[in-house]
Amino acid sequence: MARAMGLRRRIGFTFLAWGIGLIVFFPIFWMLLTSFKTEGDAIASPPLLFYAATIENYLEVLARSNYFKHFMNSVIIAGGSTILALIVAIPAAWSMAFSPTKQTKNILMWMLSTKMLPPVGVLVPIYLLFLQWGLLDTKFGLTIILMLINLPIVIWMLYTYFKEIPGEILEASRMDGAVLWKEIIYVLLPMAVPGIASTMLLNVILAWNEAFWTLNLTAANAAPLTAFIAAFSSPEGLFWAKLSAASTMAIAPILILGWFSQRQLVRGLTFGAVK
Amino acid sequence: MATAHTRTLSRLMIAPSVVMLLAWMAIPLAMTIYFSFQRYNLLNPSRRRFAGWFNYEFFVTDPAFFAALTNTLVLVGGVLVITIVGGILFALLLDQPIFGQGIVRILFISPFFIMPTVSALIWKNMMMNPVFGIFANIAKSLGLQPIDWFASVPLLSIIIIVAWQWLPFATLILLTALQSLDSEQRDAAEMDGAKPVALFFYITLPHMSRAITVVVLIETIFLLSIFAEILVTTNGGPGVASTNLTFLIYARALLQFDVGGAAAGGIIAVILANIVAIFLIRMIGKNLEA
Amino acid sequence: MGSIRLESVRKVFGDAEVIPGVDLKINDGEFIVFVGPSGCGKSTLLRLIAGLEDLTGGKVLIDDKDVTGNAPAKRRLAMVFQSYALYPHMSVFNNIAFPLKMAEMEKTAIDKKVRDAADTLNLTDYLHRKPGQLSGGQRQRVAIGRAIVREPVAFLFDEPLSNLDAALRVNMRHEISQLHHQLNTTMIYVTHDQVEAMTLADRIVVLNEGRVEQFGSPLQLYQKPSNRFVAGFIGSPMMNFIEGPTAAEHDAHTIGVRPEHIIVSKKKGTWSGVVTIAEHLGADTFLRVECGAIGTITARASGEFTVGYGDTVFLTPDSKKTYRFDKNGRTIGHRPQQADTTGNQKTP
Ligand SMILES: Nc1ncnc2c1ncn2[C@@H]1O[C@H](COP(=O)(O)OP(=O)(O)OP(=O)(O)O)[C@@H](O)[C@H]1O
Ligand SMILES: [Mg+2]
């Protein structure tokens, strides 16, 4: 009797959850669907759920725009800023986790506080400095900026992961004759692989989707996909199919990455405040 | 663990991060403060001179500033309410036994991974277009007059888009908190005769309070700086109906090239964000101790 | 090769003086055990010797060379940690080989040394496993293997057996003892366990609040404790301490009698009391006896001695084995029963 009630409840919740889930997901689903329509089908009224699928839009986006270049820009900027941030952050996190001083906590707090500086507060000088240094619309300039805005999160996440590694193991390696860089490369990093991986994931996702600096500091040359897609907003949109195809290609890598790593992301997203 | 040797090394290893972040934070901020006291327009750079409080006065007395400030607060507040309430409900739902839980989770979480420009454009065109959009079609099929979203309720439209993007974040965090609730505690309360509603208000909600605070504060920081969604949908309009502080400063700086005015606005935005940041730092600081 | 000397070693953490000043001279090849209550500074002292912590004051000398400022790796010491501190991502082979790789030893030489060590420690079948796939005792052996391949001048052990179950502990204790006889290398061993201390040590250092209370052979500590702390700490069950008029009769502030030095009778004796607990262990029976003004006394009787809760018994302390302590807890006038055989005592 209770079993049957439990099952009924479960079926009820299943319908409800799937229903709401599909509504939440609908815009993405619709974009995917539209990307395989002809432009005519895309604006058909009433909207078409079944139609003759075509990959025309994808081919056209690839052929007529510089999609591939912008995709590579995104890869280079998101990947580059992540790697740079890790290189700078790993030593810092080691230092805070395994050799803390009285100031360690304050330094961490201060680092996180830089994350709260609104970008418009420094937009003007950064823009002018970039103008002067010839960094506007360069991948290098943007990579540096994205590294800096994500650095505090990277340090914080690594710090929380490193803290879970027992210090005795590092001490053992020191007794065994490992100098510092060997201690880090042969002992600490291999043990911290899961933590480093989820830190990288979160950072890549944040950098890939960053849409303030990428829109303001780039033009035709260094624009990553965020800026490339933004360019579709100008003509009062009757190219939905092509927009959808381009958008699908822009979000697919990160969406899939996100699906696989959602559980690991929670910790980074909340600075470890919710476990 | 600490010998003088490792301590010296440890200072050396933390130095690059500290120096970089210091440079990133201090130098541009100092420049912004400096510019905010200059009359400086890139269209006319030779006529640069000290301006005193002029830029601030000009920025603050501009009717657009008041509108932008209100819009910013309405945007942040609206999105927060939707995402927190929705997030709690969704988290409670996802915490139930469901067939295909993994896939449902993925459905709920997906919007978070969509870049802001893409989600804004999907909504603007395929959802909210007054003629061909899904909403318009639904309205027509029900015999109603379709709404011209971005013309008649621009700020609400943007709130909907942004809330859609941030709802997964709130859901994910709150669900994680919910799942960490000790089931024995719930059982004990049930044994004590607590009804489901009482259970929610006396056990579940207090348990989630910390996660809720985290969601509020982190979202606030990002929501204060909403930019791309406005840029690709309304461009701040009609008029200034959907202009927030970030967008207003952007328009001053990169559309009107008014460096001084934009800098003054930037400083005001920093002060606003700082008020929020103080709360966040306090809270995370407490968590560090816990 | 392998003598260690501490000269006025001092350690302060923040404003807590953990080690106020320790002098110690450990001879080459000796097995030294540090015992003392939790938090008394045993690990700290060991880590100071290892170089994992800086000294606040004083000197550490190994083979008469001052190594105070040297990095841990340069001291030619090996350490076995309580948590084993194995590298979880490396196989057993690589764990043992790690110190040799750090010393940039040749590959074939590493291979040989690791296999030899594995042989000695019965680890040959496990060389390809990760530490996570080993039992506690095997992990312990890997940690020891990692220590011996370096051929250190001394081994440092920090409670190496405390994570093992009772039976395995006895086994590993014997193995460590055997290892010491094989290698003849200096070993410093920290433990909580009296049995480990008494059975393994050539000499024991009893620490209390960072001070050396006594340094001597196990029997010396048992027979001639230099103060009340050592008398109470060494020996199990603990020595009985009696104050007041009874002690005054012996011209002392406190007198101490070990449970095994009390004769228990059902008929007559010096003190009488009521049994509150009787623990029959088979070979022995331990009694807790409520003796009125004298207090509660623990006494050992033979296994056949049958009494129960509430029975009245009579206790007679062996007057030749009664210890006397002054107001500050120092022992008054030893009553030697047996000549000291170790010959290298040093009582601060
Ligand atoms: N890094 C440190 N910072 C501050 N205080 C410390 C530190 N390490 C140890 N202490 C303090 O020094 C004292 C001695 O610690 P230690 O670990 O040496 O004790 P122990 O004798 O090994 O204890 P146990 O038997 O419990 O292992 C303790 O009071 C401890 O709190
Ligand atoms: Mg210890």
In a domain? residue A144 = yes
The continuous run of DSSP H or E covering A6 comes out as helix A2-34
Cα of B89 to nearest chain A Cα, Å: 11
Burial of A176 (0-12, 13-18, 19+ CB in 10 A): buried
Contact status of C99 with chain A (Cβ, < 8 Å): yes
User: How confident is the model at residue B281, as a pLDDT?
Assistant: 66
Which of A177, A179, A193 faces C99 most closely, judged by CB atoms? A177
Report the pLDDT averaged over residues C311-321: 88
Report the pLDDT averaged over residues A226-238: 72
In a domain? residue B4 = no
Token pair listed for A36: 């395989």
Contacts for A144 with CB less than 8 Å, ≥ 6 apart: A81, A84
pLDDT bucket at A48, cuts 50 / 70 / 90: confident
Ligand at minimal distance from the CA of C13 is 1
Report whether pLDDT(A3) > 60: no
CB contact residues (below 8 A), chain B span 72-101, against chain A = 90, 93-94, 96-100
Cβ < 6 A, ligand 1 pocket: C 13, 16, 18, 36, 38-44, 192
Instruction: Count contacts between A and C (CB, < 8 Å).
Output: 61
Domains contained in chain A, number: 1
Which residue in C305, C247, C245, C310 sits closest to C280, CA to CA?
Answer: C305
Which of B107, B126, B227 faces A22 most closely, judged by CB atoms? B107
pLDDT in tens, C279-295: 888 889 999 999 888 88
User: How confident is the model at residue A82, as a pLDDT?
Assistant: 95
Closest atom of ligand 1 relative to the C210 alpha carbon: 14
Report the pLDDT averaged over residues A60-74: 85
Contacts of A262 in chain B (CB under 8 A): 105-106, 109, 172
**SS3 label, residue B194:** coil
Report the pLDDT averaged over residues A7-26: 89
Report whether pLDDT(A75) > 90: yes
In a domain? residue B13 = no
Which residue in B11, C110, C65 sits closest to A176, CA to CA?
Answer: C110
Which residue in C121, C201, C123 sits closest to C157, CA to CA?
Answer: C201
Which residue in C95, C132, C156, C81 sits closest to A187, CA to CA?
Answer: C95
pLDDT in tens, C221-250: 999 999 999 999 998 889 999 988 888 888
User: How confident is the model at residue A270, as a pLDDT?
Assistant: 66
Token pair listed for C1: 């090769």
Beta-carbon separation of B259 and A124 below 8 A: yes
Any idea which fold C4-228 has?
Answer: Rossmann fold (3.40.50)
Report whether pLDDT(C337) > 70: no
Overall CATH class of domain C238-329: mainly beta
pLDDT in tens, C174-189: 989 999 999 999 999 9
User: How confident is the model at residue C343, as a pLDDT?
Assistant: 39
Chain C interface residues facing chain B, Cβ-Cβ under 8 Å? 51-54, 71
Contacts of A178 in chain C (CB under 8 A): 73, 98, 102
Nearest residue by C-alpha to atom 12 in ligand 1 = C18
In a domain? residue A181 = yes
- Spatial distance between the Cα atoms of B114 and B133, rounded to a whole number of angstroms: 20
Beta-carbon separation of C54 and B1 below 8 A: no
In a domain? residue B172 = yes
In DSSP notation, B66-132 reads HHHHHHHHHHHHHHHHHHHHHHHHHHHHHTS--TTHHHHHHHHHGGGGS-HHHHHHIIIIIIT-TTT
Q: Give the range of the structural domain holding residue A71, as residue numbers without chain letter.
A: 66-231
Contacts for C265 with CB less than 8 Å, ≥ 6 apart: C313, C314, C315, C316
Contact status of B4 with chain C (Cβ, < 8 Å): yes
pLDDT bucket at C346, cuts 50 / 70 / 90: very low
Mutation probe of ligand 1 site: the residue of C33, C34, C44, C158 with most atoms within 8 A of C-beta: C44
Cα of C197 to nearest chain A Cα, Å: 24
Beta-carbon separation of C52 and B3 below 8 A: yes
Domain of A202, CATH number, reads 1.10.3720.10
Which chains border B (3 or more CB–CB pairs < 8 Å)?
A: A, C
Beta-carbon separation of A274 and B254 below 8 A: no
pLDDT in tens, A142-185: 999 999 988 988 998 899 889 888 889 999 998 888 888 888 89
Domains contained in chain B, number: 1
DSSP secondary-structure letter at C239?
A: P
Contact status, residue C314 vs residue C297, Cβ threshold 8 Å: no
| Residue ranges covered by each domain of chain C | 4-228, 238-329
Cα of A266 to nearest chain C Cα, Å: 25
Which chains border C (3 or more CB–CB pairs < 8 Å)?
A: A, B
Report whether pLDDT(A235) > 80: no
In a domain? residue A46 = no
Report whether pLDDT(C335) > 60: no
- Predicted TM-score (pTM) of the model is 0.82
pLDDT in tens, C245-266: 888 888 888 999 999 999 998 8
Contacts of B148 in chain A (CB under 8 A): none
Give the pairing of strands C57-62 and C65-66: antiparallel
Long-range CB contacts for residues A108-111, cutoff 8 Å, separation at least 24: A108/A155, A108/A156, A108/A159, A108/B288, A109/B281, A109/B284, A109/B285, A109/B288, A110/B21, A111/A151, A111/A152, A111/A155, A111/A156, A111/B17, A111/B18, A111/B21
Q: Give the range of the structural domain holding residue B186, as residue numbers without chain letter.
A: 56-289
pLDDT bucket at C339, cuts 50 / 70 / 90: very low
The continuous run of DSSP H or E covering B30 comes out as helix B4-36
Among chain A residues, CA nearest to B223: A118
More confident residue, B251 or A268: B251
Contact status, residue A212 vs residue B253, Cβ threshold 8 Å: no
Nearest residue by C-alpha to atom 7 in ligand 1 = C13
Contact status, residue B162 vs residue B219, Cβ threshold 8 Å: no
Closest atom of ligand 1 relative to the C40 alpha carbon: 21
Report whether pLDDT(A44) > 80: no
- Spatial distance between the Cα atoms of C25 and C38, rounded to a whole number of angstroms: 23
Beta-carbon separation of C102 and A182 below 8 A: yes
Beta-bridge mates of residue C32: C188, C203
User: How confident is the model at residue A113, as a pLDDT?
Assistant: 77
Cα of A275 to nearest chain B Cα, Å: 7
Contact status of A164 with chain C (Cβ, < 8 Å): no
Which of these ranges, B212-216, C197-201, C261-265, C267-271, has the smallest mean pLDDT?
A: B212-216
Q: What amino acid occupies position C218?
A: P
- Spatial distance between the Cα atoms of B254 and B263, rounded to a whole number of angstroms: 12
Cα of A51 to nearest chain B Cα, Å: 17
Contacts of C142 in chain A (CB under 8 A): none
Contact status, residue B107 vs residue B167, Cβ threshold 8 Å: no
In a domain? residue B27 = no
Query: pLDDT tens digits, chain B, 290 residues: what are they?
Result: 457 777 788 888 888 999 999 888 888 888 888 888 887 777 777 777 777 787 788 888 888 888 888 999 899 999 999 999 999 999 988 888 888 888 888 888 899 999 998 999 889 888 888 888 888 888 888 888 888 888 889 999 999 999 999 999 899 888 888 887 777 777 777 777 777 787 788 778 878 887 888 888 788 888 888 888 898 888 887 888 888 888 888 888 877 788 888 888 888 888 888 877 777 667 666 655 54
Among chain A residues, CA nearest to C148: A176
In a domain? residue A243 = no
pLDDT in tens, A177-193: 888 888 889 999 999 88
- Spatial distance between the Cα atoms of B169 and B173, rounded to a whole number of angstroms: 6
Which of A45, A250, A258 faces B137 most closely, judged by CB atoms? A45
Instruction: Count contacts between B and C (CB, < 8 Å).
Output: 11
Contact status, residue C323 vs residue C255, Cβ threshold 8 Å: yes
- Spatial distance between the Cα atoms of C214 and B16, rounded to a whole number of angstroms: 50
User: How confident is the model at residue C340, as a pLDDT?
Assistant: 39
Domain of B111, CATH number, reads 1.10.3720.10
Contacts of C48 in chain B (CB under 8 A): none
Contact status, residue C205 vs residue C212, Cβ threshold 8 Å: yes
Token pair listed for C89: 């991502």
DSSP secondary-structure letter at B191?
A: H
Nearest residue by C-alpha to atom 24 in ligand 1 = C38
Contacts of A235 in chain B (CB under 8 A): none
Average model confidence (pLDDT) for chain A?
Answer: 84
User: How confident is the model at residue A1, as a pLDDT?
Assistant: 41
Mutation probe of ligand 1 site: the residue of C17, C18, C45, C161 with most atoms within 8 A of C-beta: C18
Which of A13, A262, A275 faces B180 most closely, judged by CB atoms? A275
3-state helix, strand, coil in chain A (%, to 5): 75, 0, 25
- Spatial distance between the Cα atoms of B245 and B264, rounded to a whole number of angstroms: 12
Contacts of A269 in chain B (CB under 8 A): 169, 172-173, 218
